[in-house]
A = this chain, B = another copy of it.
Amino acid sequence: MGDTSRFAAATEDDTRAAIMRATYDALTSHGYANLTIQRIGDEFEKSKSLLYHHYDGKDDLLVDFLRFMLEHWEAKAECREEQDPRARLEALLDRVAGVELDEETAAFTAAMEELRGQAPHDAAYREQFTEHDRALRERFAEIIAAGIDEGSFHNVDPARAAEFLLTTVNGVRIQRVTRDDAGGVAATRAELDEYLDARLYRGDA
């Protein structure tokens, strides 16, 4: 079940990467609320004392985990420039707000939203989610600007449209894991497609 691709690029610091892998596995299995350093250690093939050597505690480790996930996401996002803007935009939306999630991704999404729920009262978490949002917003804005440049998108304000898409994606993410009725993702995505057709895409692609 393990999606090791999320960790494949991390070769520079093997210990950190191994700790991040263990954190990912523990979050996916237990969620934030039931997570302990002990449970992260259970997923970790090296000495547990390394965890305590590198991190002050669970939240210190998880803030670094958020930083790691963002670095990794940004490194991976760099490699996707070959498609046309519309295909890139739709692939990105599928990736960050897909209608169907496999079990592991669903569990990990739930854990990430629990982490996000720490941000209102914890500045270190808030800083990380500010950066996660910035990265996704910039990615949307770049794609929209590219579409305008090549003439396939209407001349909208890329930053504003990107913020709107980001907001929709974050709405999908939080609803998906905090509602019993699966968050209505399909309906939201269908209406988002209407928005894209009305506001962004020129003619038929």
Contacts and interface: CB of A to CB of B under 8 A. Distances in A.
Interface of A: 31-34, 110-111, 113-114, 116-122, 125-127, 129-130, 133-134, 137, 156-157, 159-161, 163-164, 166-172, 174-175, 177-181, 183-184, 187-188, 190-192, 194-195, 198-199
Contact of A191 (B118, B126, B163): B163
A175 B126 CA distance: 10
Contacts of A130: 178-181
A151 B201 CA distance: 27
A152 to B, nearest CB: 18
Contacts of A161: 191
13 contacts: A33-B118, A113-B117, A114-B117, A120-B177, A125-B178, A126-B180, A156-B194, A163-B184, A167-B168, A167-B175, A167-B183, A168-B168, A170-B170
B171 A188 contact: no
A165 B72 CA distance: 32
